[in-house]
């Protein structure tokens, strides 16, 4: 999470809290260290954000501080409700936590619907794989070294250029350019044998590769 986004999250958490929040509590919610929280809070205080408190005691937000409101009509709020609840189907736990944070932010400005529900049935989260790292690699155009078990249960090592993630109901699939095969391949997240490792960059190539993959994928439909 970028620092600016993290500081915005701190503001949101403190605005919605009914009691002081410790740095440890904030660090757990943001998946960072307490030291990072201390630095971010100090920076916010230096920018005159009305946060009071200290390390070891807890932080509170003085009343009266607000952010520009969001305005949604009823159907927009219902669409957001369903969309955020369906993220549970992806099996991506980090994405699910992000959806819950987003829902909390939106509900402060526009009440979300309590009449629309979505089943959480869907793809299983892959064991031992943090999909948030893969999503970050896609955004930052990082190559990944993977250990993969193919459909014949043969283990292979690949270097891939990850392009996107597709969340099917039955599985999570990672489209990528495979350097071993010199072609586009789809890798199932549940067949990754361990956490992929960054191994270089393909800066500036993702847009073109993604367009080529989309054309290639369309021919196969």
Instruction: Flag whether pLDDT at 221 surpasses 50.
Output: no
Residues 138 and 197 in one domain: yes
Number of folded domains that form the chain: 3
* pLDDT score at 71: 64
Instruction: Flag whether pLDDT at 64 surpasses 70.
Output: no
Residues 212 and 193 in one domain: yes
Taking a C-beta distance cutoff of 8 angstroms, is the pair 45, 80 a contact? no
CB atoms within 10 A of CB 71: 9
Residues 162 and 136 in one domain: yes
102 — pLDDT class (breaks 50, 70, 90): confident
The sign one gets for the Cα dihedral 32, 33, 34, 40 is negative
The CATH number for 166's domain is 2.30.30
Residue 153 class from Cβ within 10 Å (0-12 exposed, 13-18 middle, 19+ buried)?
exposed
Residues 159 and 90 in one domain: no
End-to-end CA distance of the chain: 35
Higher pLDDT, 190 or 113: 190
The CATH number for 20's domain is 1.10.10.10
Q: Domain span at residue 20?
A: 3-61
* pLDDT score at 36: 92
Higher pLDDT, 90 or 67: 90
Taking a C-beta distance cutoff of 8 angstroms, is the pair 142, 106 a contact? no
What is the largest distance, in Å, between two alpha-carbon atoms of the chain?
61
* Domain-terminating residue out of 83, 98, 122: 122
Residues 99 and 180 in one domain: no
Taking a C-beta distance cutoff of 8 angstroms, is the pair 193, 147 a contact? yes
Residues 173 and 200 in one domain: yes
- Answer yes or no: is 184 within a domain: yes
Residue 59 phi, psi (nearest 5): -120, 145
Instruction: Flag whether pLDDT at 108 surpasses 80.
Output: no
Helix (H) or strand (E) holding 59: strand 58-61
Mean pLDDT of 23-48: 89
Instruction: Flag whether pLDDT at 208 surpasses 80.
Output: yes
- Answer yes or no: is 99 within a domain: yes
> Tens digits of per-residue pLDDT, 121-173?
788 878 889 999 999 999 999 999 999 998 888 999 999 999 999 988 888 99
Residues 35 and 113 in one domain: no
* pLDDT score at 186: 95
- Answer yes or no: is 66 within a domain: no
- Cα 107 to chain centroid distance, Å, stands at 19
Residues 146 and 208 in one domain: yes
31 — pLDDT class (breaks 50, 70, 90): confident
67 — pLDDT class (breaks 50, 70, 90): low
Percentages helix, strand, coil for the chain (3-state, rounded to 5) are 45, 20, 35
């Amino acid at each position: 999470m970028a620092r600016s986004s993290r500081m915005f999250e701190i503001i949101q958490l403190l605005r919605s809290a009914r009691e002081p929040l410790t740095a440890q509590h904030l660090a757990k919610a943001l998946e960072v260290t307490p030291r990072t929280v201390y630095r971010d809070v100090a920076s916010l205080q230096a920018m005159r954000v009305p946060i009071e408190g200290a390390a070891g005691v807890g932080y509170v937000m003085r009343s009266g501080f607000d952010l520009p409101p969001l305005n949604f009509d009823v159907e927009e709020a219902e669409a957001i409700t369903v969309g955020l609840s369906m993220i549970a189907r992806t099996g991506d736990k980090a994405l699910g936590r992000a959806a819950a944070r987003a829902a909390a932010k939106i509900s402060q400005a526009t009440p979300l619907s309590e009449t629309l529900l979505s089943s959480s049935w869907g793809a299983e989260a892959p064991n031992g794989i943090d999909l948030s790292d893969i999503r970050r690699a896609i955004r930052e155009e990082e190559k990944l070294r993977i250990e993969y078990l193919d459909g014949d249960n043969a283990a292979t090592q690949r270097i891939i250029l990850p392009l996107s993630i597709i969340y099917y109901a039955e599985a999570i699939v990672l489209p990528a350019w495979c350097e071993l095969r010199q072609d586009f391949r789809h890798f199932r997240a549940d067949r990754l044998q361990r956490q992929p490792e960054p191994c270089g960059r393909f800066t500036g190539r993702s847009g073109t590769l993604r367009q080529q993959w989309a054309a290639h994928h369309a021919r196969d439909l």
